[in-house]
Structure 1
């Protein structure tokens, strides 16, 4: 045996040990109803989608919890817990007729009371996006056990997009009403209406879901169970997919440099569909509260030092394209006519000199700390690249490592200089973009809000006006102006628009069926016969 083959065998054995099995040939289900083993990295802090919207929670929670709607690849609404819906001519009343045979995983019936409780009470207290959406409602009432009416204070064009599982998860009223939402025992033993119910969570090892036999869609789900295996090591994740011990890797489970190789294997296939609703933009987040980061000239200097093309090509390996601003080009109301920042150390240092940041005898102007997001090697490499990119201008960057909970706590409590982040856009700037920049969403302790602390009354006005405007042409004008101001102010350093790979066993059918991809409920997924 050659040395490289021996090393590969050792690596494979280590990966399979992490999955709790011994090395063996692939042995997968040979019929439509079978189990699925998926990789999950990092491990979620909790499993309640109302309280936590980080990616791992969304992946697992999307099988357990549901909302009223899902959305197809063109972002058109699809039935979920609502079987039909109507919007009044004035755009202020949304009437949802709910499925009549849905049950909670503990056997209790699902009714309109659960929807009213979730949207009017629980989510308003704990969910940053849902709070912003449902605060626009004059009332949320149950007309009967299977009809809910949302009446808006004024028209809100993207309201119909506010009902996917992570944006408005419906939780059981009978388990949460009158309880401390944040400390409920059901946050880690969730009870939903989805096609899979919670079975077990062994911290550091796996989360086990089993098919819910009383699911309201007849004949579904086809899969009997899903094991989400926690595998921190990137090489082990790749080997698990290569050997067939795992049948699904999503988001950034597989490092970008390994995607092409794995996708070419005969037993695997790959798609980048299923992220249309999210359309994430990767950025370097800057704490605008701290000097000198509260001066836009300093932030502009960082823009001049950052090579977005390098990040897209050398770190993302083509699974991204350079971003030009806060709205992705795949999302409505994108504006391309914005300020461009030439890659130039000379221009950056001129700005730094202008604001009085002079280099010392060693050439150093300032030291900043970078909170590295704990989601894998791509995030580490991006932070390392940024540290190198700004060094020629005399900016020293120290990288700090966190676990997922510690990182979220530091960012949400504004205890950072720099970090990387990547928020979903949810099909409309009013839902996924405005929250990062409007002053009213500066909320300490709340993740995925305006954690950078950027505040500009003009931006507040433009986003407010665009949200309630009913003319798409006028909305484009307002959002175009907002994008030009934001790119000039540079509250964040927008790097790339992401294209995520989902790599899975080639025999699995109907895995990615909506614009929420692997965060969907997998009710239709099955193995081909």
Structure 2
């Protein structure tokens, strides 16, 4: 659809209708015709979920790409492309029966061969999390077009949590088999099985999806189309929600200081549900390959210079809690009995003195570069806070700006000193936590892997044993031990556990239906 054709009637739950215009003069859909306009910020670098797992890609891509399962608020697996599944008594064989009559967006039939290709070939090559998951498989086979059998080399406790849409997106074998996956032309026009199909992407303006008329779930989707409007300016995003120009804002779209004001408006609803699967932890990511970060005393000094309560209160405005280690308090196996680093400038200075990092005539002990994450005002303020608080001990920080693609390339290729990062827990430490710290996941060019370059054979062993244990008590013991080691060695500077808000129009129903929230497929969403 061309931009001149965007004009749609708008309505809320009532029969009234109007036209909402953005600054570019384009009207976007919402109302009785079932259309929805949502904010997306920053603009995704690409939309293929298998090739990119950054948050904006997950939000938009999750409407087009699906995996075998989704999850309720208690992280129990629910059907998606798989309608049922069984697990053998020895925990080694997982058999999935697929949904009937599923088609790819180009009309080609979906089958078990697509699942085998995706999990055994495509994702092993390009996906940092899926690679470690499916390398645990002895075989992935399709005995018939409706059945996929995963046979594991050894038990893997969280295996059923590995099939969320961004963790194991299923891609069409008929499009990708035998091609250069990263440079396939289809990456620009995504083809999935989800309830919404790709229409167009006008860079810097919007991404347009339309309802999949052949979607396999009866009565879905409940929306006729979705426009993801790209709005770089924070104030303009708030205005869009205030005026009804947009009806959904998620993750960090609305700056933390503005959330409660908008939530008080009768036309808007606020929820923090729908982030349970991710339980995101934010930290300062440091490149351990470089001096002085390779000295644990320097890392501990930086930890002592960070006032996490200040960050929660003055930057996150209460939409977070202080993080003390690698496993979030909202997920299983968190242990509060670890080494902590209270805000203490004197303790930091003592550690720096012990290193021999003495101040020069200007009071500067060392100078480091901070790569600012381009995800909005909160991220910018978090970087500015880091610069300010490090100055109190004589650490000079230069802030370096970039765009989303540049940030991902620099961090993935280890071309940075310090940056802010945030990774999801994905329901289990074996899926969302271990990847940051195990040495086998030091993979240059792969974002959200062990980019800091941390290596400890004991940590590798503990994570490996915890992943295959079938005893919850034993897993807790192993994860408690690994948390104590990591908080002693400080491979990253843990900052906050994020509690993200979703703001949405009051007439919108069934938007958040499970633990993946706005990254879900919106199949059940509709205007009421």
The TM tier, using the shorter chain, reads over 0.9
Q: Secondary structure at the match of 2:522?
A: coil
Partner residue, 1:54: 54
* Alpha-carbon separation, structure 2, partners of 1:203 and 1:259: 27
Partner residue, 2:231: 231
Q: Structure 1 pair 452/281, CA: closer, same or farther in 2 (3 Å)? A: same
Residue pair 1:120, 1:140 contacting (<8 A) in 2 also: yes
* Alpha-carbon separation, structure 2, partners of 1:487 and 1:165: 31
* Alpha-carbon separation, structure 2, partners of 1:57 and 1:452: 23
Residue pair 1:27, 1:244 contacting (<8 A) in 2 also: no
Partner residue, 1:20: 25
Shift of 1:21: 3.8
Q: Is 2:506 the partner of 1:513?
A: no
Q: Could you give the per-residue CA deviations for residues 219-238 of structure 1, whole angstroms, max 9, x where no partner exists?
A: 21010000000000000000
Q: Structure 1 pair 243/432, CA: closer, same or farther in 2 (3 Å)? A: same
Shift of 1:17: 3.8
Q: Is 2:422 the partner of 1:428?
A: no
Q: Secondary structure at the match of 1:63?
A: coil
Residue pair 2:22, 2:245 contacting (<8 A) in 1 also: no
Shift of 1:58: 0.4
Q: Secondary structure at the match of 2:269?
A: strand
* Alpha-carbon separation, structure 2, partners of 1:89 and 1:324: 37
| Matching of residues 242-321 of structure 1 within 5 Å | 242-321=242-321
Partner residue, 2:15: none
Residue pair 1:16, 1:240 contacting (<8 A) in 2 also: no
Shift of 1:20: 3.3
Q: Secondary structure at the match of 1:393?
A: coil
Shift of 1:27: 8.4
Shift of 1:248: 0.4
| Matching of residues 486-505 of structure 1 within 5 Å | 486-505=486-505
Partner residue, 1:76: 76
Q: Secondary structure at the match of 2:392?
A: helix
Q: Secondary structure at the match of 2:70?
A: strand
* Alpha-carbon separation, structure 1, partners of 2:342 and 2:258: 31
Shift of 1:341: 1.1
Q: Over aligned residue pairs, what C-alpha RMSD do you find?
A: 1.1
Q: Is 2:140 the partner of 1:135?
A: no
Q: Could you give the per-residue CA deviations for residues 482-504 of structure 1, whole angstroms, max 9, x where no partner exists?
A: 00110111111111100000000
* Alpha-carbon separation, structure 2, partners of 1:142 and 1:46: 30
Shift of 1:462: 0.6
Shift of 1:119: 0.3
* Alpha-carbon separation, structure 1, partners of 2:149 and 2:324: 39
Residue pair 1:51, 1:127 contacting (<8 A) in 2 also: yes
* Alpha-carbon separation, structure 2, partners of 1:264 and 1:89: 51
Shift of 1:356: 1.2
Q: Structure 1 pair 81/28, CA: closer, same or farther in 2 (3 Å)? A: closer
Shift of 1:316: 0.3
Partner residue, 2:327: 327
Shift of 1:258: 0.3
Q: Taking structure 1 as the reference length, what is the TM-score of the superposition?
A: 0.95
Q: Is 2:474 the partner of 1:469?
A: no
Structure 2 unaligned regions, length at least 5: 1-19
Q: Could you give the per-residue CA deviations for residues 255-278 of structure 1, whole angstroms, max 9, x where no partner exists?
A: 000000001111100100000000
Q: Could you give the per-residue CA deviations for residues 396-425 of structure 1, whole angstroms, max 9, x where no partner exists?
A: 001000100000000000010000000000
* Alpha-carbon separation, structure 2, partners of 1:61 and 1:221: 15
Q: Could you give the per-residue CA deviations for residues 433-460 of structure 1, whole angstroms, max 9, x where no partner exists?
A: 0000010100000000000111111111
Shift of 1:19: 5.4
Q: Could you give the per-residue CA deviations for residues 291-344 of structure 1, whole angstroms, max 9, x where no partner exists?
A: 110011100000110000111110000000001100000010000001121211
Partner residue, 1:89: 89
| Matching of residues 77-156 of structure 1 within 5 Å | 77-156=77-156
* Alpha-carbon separation, structure 1, partners of 2:280 and 2:45: 21
Q: Secondary structure at the match of 1:351?
A: helix
Shift of 1:100: 1.4
Residue pair 1:86, 1:94 contacting (<8 A) in 2 also: yes
* Alpha-carbon separation, structure 2, partners of 1:392 and 1:113: 59
Partner residue, 1:12: none
Residue pair 1:19, 1:229 contacting (<8 A) in 2 also: no
Partner residue, 2:397: 397
Partner residue, 1:194: 194
Q: Secondary structure at the match of 1:399?
A: strand
Shift of 1:188: 1.7
Shift of 1:28: 4.0
Partner residue, 1:36: 36
* Alpha-carbon separation, structure 2, partners of 1:476 and 1:57: 33
* Alpha-carbon separation, structure 1, partners of 2:497 and 2:86: 34
Partner residue, 1:443: 443
Residue pair 2:29, 2:36 contacting (<8 A) in 1 also: no
Residue pair 1:172, 1:192 contacting (<8 A) in 2 also: yes
Residue pair 2:29, 2:37 contacting (<8 A) in 1 also: no
Q: Structure 1 pair 462/27, CA: closer, same or farther in 2 (3 Å)? A: closer
Structure 1 unaligned regions, length at least 5: 1-14
Residue pair 1:47, 1:61 contacting (<8 A) in 2 also: yes
Shift of 1:18: 3.5
Partner residue, 1:453: 453
